[in-house]
């Protein structure tokens, strides 16, 4: 089992500089704005799965001060240190169905998590996300076709098509970079807002 302790976050997110504040803020603004564009209203509730120390929370609240943020992470360190101040509870993506998460979410974030969990956890977690999603899910995942600097321990080699199949099986379709819509949003989209049929792409 990997240990996501203070030393892990220090190494990758502070010493190595992966996921800088500016980078996270750009991603947060994109996910928020794109979701609101498709919802045609402000985002009210966000769930951050695999949130780590909850670094997405600050830029999201800066953009939407009234937004309700909840984080989930398997790190005992993160949940203990930031649980109360940043609303983080302990758990992994495969545990979502067993956690006390109430209601539905306009935006679900799952950034840099999926390559480090097995297929069963993804299936269980994405199924739960799809069932509780009123807007879009930001499912950021690196694949075997991507060159990147980062944690390679317990990294699962998956092709882009592997993720698309896992998402599509739960009714989630790609509508932008790492952005997926489900049953609530997809029927409301114009032809060129949503995923294009293969016949159109060809």
Percent share of the chain, pLDDT over 90: 73
pLDDT at 57 over 90: yes
Asked whether the beta carbons of 166 and 119 are under 8 A apart, the reply is yes
Domains of the chain (ranges; CATH) run 6-201 (3.40.50.150)
Q: Which residues on neighbouring strands pair with residue 198, listed in sequence order?
A: none
Please give the Cα distance from 197 to 105 (Å, whole number).
27
At 117-149, the pLDDT tens digits run 999 999 999 999 999 999 999 999 989 888 776
Please give the Cα distance from 71 to 47 (Å, whole number).
6
End-to-end C-alpha distance for the chain, whole angstroms: 44
Q: What is the mean pLDDT of residues 168-197?
A: 93
What is the reported pLDDT for 68? 98
pTM reported for the whole predicted model: 0.91
């Amino acid at each position: 089992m990997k240990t996501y302790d203070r030393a892990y976050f220090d190494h990758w997110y502070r010493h190595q500089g992966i996921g800088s504040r500016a980078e996270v803020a750009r991603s947060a603004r994109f996910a928020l704005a794109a979701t609101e564009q498709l919802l045609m209203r402000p985002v009210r509730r966000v769930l951050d799965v695999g949130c780590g120390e909850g670094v997405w929370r600050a830029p999201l609240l800066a953009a939407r001060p009234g937004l309700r943020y909840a984080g989930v992470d398997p790190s005992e360190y993160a949940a203990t240190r930031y649980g109360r101040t940043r609303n983080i509870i302990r758990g992994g993506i495969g545990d979502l169905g067993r956690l006390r998460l109430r209601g539905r979410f306009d935006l679900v974030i799952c950034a840099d998590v999926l390559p480090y969990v097995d297929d069963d956890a993804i299936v269980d977690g994405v199924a739960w996300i799809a069932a509780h999603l009123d807007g879009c899910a930001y499912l950021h995942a690196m694949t075997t076709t991507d060159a990147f600097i980062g944690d390679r321990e317990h990294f699962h080699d998956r092709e882009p098509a592997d993720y698309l199949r896992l998402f599509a099986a739960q009714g989630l379709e790609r509508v932008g970079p790492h952005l997926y819509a489900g049953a609530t949003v997809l029927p409301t989209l114009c032809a060129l807002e949503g995923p294009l049929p293969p016949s159109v792409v060809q």
